[in-house]
Amino acid sequence: MIDTVELAAKDPGLEQPWVELGLKADEYERIKEILGRRPTSCELAMYSVMWSEHCSYKSSKVHLRQFGDKRPDTEVLLVGMGENAGVVDVGQGYAVTFKVESHNHPSFVEPYQGAATGVGGIVRDILTMGARPVAVMDPLRFGPLDAPDTQRVLPGIVAGIGGYGNCLGLPNIGGEIVFDPSYLGNPLVNALCVGVMKHKDIKLAKASGPGNQVILFGARTGGDGIGGVSVLASETFDADKPSKRPSVQVGDPFAEKVLIECCLEIFAADLVVGIQDLGGAGLSCATTELASAGTGGMHVVLDRVPLRDPTLAPEEILMSESQERMCAIVEPVHVPAFLTICERWDVEAVVIGEVTDTGRLTVEWRGETVVDVPPATVAHDGPVYTRPLARPAAQDALNLDSATTLPRPTDGAGLRATLLQLLGSPNLCDKRWVTEQYDRYVLGNTVLAMPEDAGVLRIDDGSNLGIALSTDCNARFVQLDPYVGAQLALAEAYRNVATTGARPIAVTDCLNFGSPEDPGVMWQFAQAVTGLADGCLTLGVPVTGGNVSFYNQTGTTAILPTPVVGVLGVLDDVTRRVPMGFRADGEVILLLGETREELDGSEWAQVVHGHLGGRPPRVDLGAERALATVLVAGATQALFASAHDLSEGGLAQALAESCLRGGHGATVALPGDPFLALFAESTARVLVSVPSDRLAAVQTLAGAHGIPLHELGTVGGTALELGVCSIPLDELRAAHTATLPAAFG
């Protein structure tokens, strides 16, 4: 029996499964108030998915407003937050759109498909803006390397990212792989995509013009992913509840590849008024968002939706998160041309409805009206919570527990052993076992990819215009101080982009936290958002969009707060990019920036002592900005042979990586206390090597911007000579590369 609008009005007392759909009592009451009656089962389904934490940002909205309120004065922003992805101007008539999003819970339940569809979803967001997707990146977090569940989760997630991205033909140019016990029951799979278009080709998600046709195209709708956003993404896992496997979508990268080419041909022919992808919340999201952003009304005939499973109920069709689907608004005169292009690519396309000026979204099923709602109430008027927040009681004790008193190596042999131990530790070891499973060459525009500091792409063959992207977050620092930690994540990504010679211009973020119902987690979240918004204002880089992922915890234990920050930069001439590895014997090695006794939260404290406590390193955004200016100017003037950011593992790690990248040794005199010089994690520092005839120019440049400069030594030989100890490159390489193959085969 179909639950129609007529029936809902007649039978107000019917018991409805709002609890099972993840709604709270007051939210259900609010829906009844909006509609003046109980919702139909279809309407209830739509509200439940759209008012979920994942779609409505109900716990985060009050904090995220800061990204708008504190937005720096910048001319690069073409489309800001609220659309599928932000768009920025990179010059020469080009626009770049980029965003990072989470797919954490699906990837824990079903690692391969969860990660694969995470890539698929973010790629469609970028495509929806009118852009050709040109690259992906994946910031990942796992439990301890030696934990049995990491053996289950990591290979599946990596294969899923590769399987989907490789088959789409998108180079994977960077990301992160970090291990920490807090992610054991809740790994993080964040996926970033970047796309390029001309300014005039930007598309928006709006259904304007009464009489315009609503076309659903791409894959057929199936029973997969029903309730993905509400049941999976917006709740904590509970071992006692039934398996959530049916809530994970299944991906078909071939269908998405064809859909990309089909859409780009449709865009080139200028055939759409508005377009929206179907991701979380499926048709419920696409129809209500399109309608509320446009003229305001839409009529949809649900029977026309092509189905993989003909037994699906209308509620399921509205909630399904089947992948590789798009929804376009097309003027009637353009419909034949639109369908012809779809036919050429063998993409199924069906007119499922039209735009109206009624101000209502109405959905018809078997000749009866099953939905009749004001679309904005579904898409935008969801509940907004000001959740209670409180600094955790244990925070003071955590901050007092400094790493400075931990035992340190005292002689050359001890320093040598520590360096090798860190170099092979899970977070600092060579990640090729993972990154070799990703295609980094396809499309022929990859200039730098992992393990480089940032991924660098050429976007114009003729002018050599290029972009750089880096994602970063040291969640240990965020745990120690979420305000400072979020700024440190921003500073690191900003610095990584500048290290390649690119001018940082814009930010995306993926804010991964525990349960918003825990006041301590909400405090972390509020502090981190404020820190990030303030930091972006200081650095002059706007947040263009992103994603919030709550409920990342196992039982009552939250993950380390992990606000992953992605920074986009521009290289006017990408041939001037600076790689991370030493390039030739005789280059002079310089350290830019100041080293302090900053060991709290460091990899040394973690790896050697299993310690996390104290205060994170000082964040100095003024110094970061000045350093970036020096790096970009130096790259433009071709002063640097190589440049490599200092972060986790400090100078020791940076030196080892710069040596191993091209197989060049180095002889270095460590300034000050050798242990601090090697392992402190002070920020705003970069290691550079310069041809000796450029040394004076670099000194002048650094001096002009107040950047401290230490001459460390020279490139050459087959060992890393540190004065206090010497390590042959072969030994460094063996320590660096053995870890992941030993764990995963």
Q: How far is the CB of 97 from other proteins (least distance, A)?
A: 20
Q: How far is the CB of 28 from other proteins (least distance, A)?
A: 43
- For every residue of 538-578, DSSP letters joined together read HHT--EEEEEEE---EETTEEPPPEEEEEEEEEESSGGG--
Q: How far is the CB of 431 from other proteins (least distance, A)?
A: 13
Q: Is 103 a catalytic residue?
A: yes
Classify residue 392 by burial, with Cβ atoms within 10 Å: 0-12, 13-18, 19+: middle
The CA distances from residue 219 to 106, 277, 346, 386, in Å, are 20, 12, 10, 39
Cβ closest to other proteins, residue 404 vs residue 575: 575
Cβ count near 386 (within 10 Å): 10
Q: How far is the CB of 479 from other proteins (least distance, A)?
A: 34
User: Pairing relation of β-strands 274-278 and 325-330?
Assistant: antiparallel
Q: How far is the CB of 116 from other proteins (least distance, A)?
A: 13
Q: Phi, psi (5° rounding) for residue 300?
A: -125, 135
Cβ closest to other proteins, residue 153 vs residue 623: 153
Residue among 29, 4, 33, 382 at smallest CA distance from 230: 382
Q: What ranges in 129-221 are assigned the alpha helix state H? A: 148-168
Q: How far is the CB of 302 from other proteins (least distance, A)?
A: 28
Cis peptide before 451 (omega within 30 of 0): yes
By three-state DSSP, how is residue 192 classified? strand
Cβ closest to other proteins, residue 29 vs residue 730: 730
Euclidean distance between CA atoms 418 and 415, whole angstroms: 5
Q: How far is the CB of 159 from other proteins (least distance, A)?
A: 7
Q: Phi, psi (5° rounding) for residue 562?
A: -130, 80
Residue among 444, 442, 457, 563 at smallest CA distance from 502: 457
Q: 607 and 422 in contact (C-beta within 8 Å)?
A: yes
Q: Is 105 a catalytic residue?
A: no
Q: How far is the CB of 162 from other proteins (least distance, A)?
A: 5
Q: 634 and 698 in contact (C-beta within 8 Å)?
A: yes
Cβ closest to other proteins, residue 120 vs residue 227: 120
- For every residue of 20-85, DSSP letters joined together read TTT--HHHHHHHHHHHTSPPPHHHHHHHHHHTSHHHH-TTTHHHHHHHHHT----S-EEE-BTBSS
Q: How far is the CB of 318 from other proteins (least distance, A)?
A: 28
Catalytic residue, chosen from 63, 103, 299, 334, is 103
User: Pairing relation of β-strands 686-690 and 325-330?
Assistant: unpaired
Cβ closest to other proteins, residue 367 vs residue 444: 444
Cβ closest to other proteins, residue 261 vs residue 348: 261
Cβ closest to other proteins, residue 161 vs residue 233: 161
Cβ closest to other proteins, residue 377 vs residue 435: 435
Contact set with other proteins (CB under 8 A)? 159, 162-163, 166-169, 252-255, 257-258, 261, 345-346, 436-447, 458, 461, 574-575, 745
Q: Extract the runs of DSSP E, i.e. beta strands, from 409-450.
A: 446-448
Cβ closest to other proteins, residue 258 vs residue 378: 258
Q: 595 and 682 in contact (C-beta within 8 Å)?
A: yes
DSSP code at position 309: S
Q: Which residue in the block uniquely carries the two structure tokens 């080293």?
A: 595
Euclidean distance between CA atoms 174 and 455, whole angstroms: 6
User: Pairing relation of β-strands 709-715 and 172-179?
Assistant: unpaired
| Catalytic (active-site) positions | 54, 103
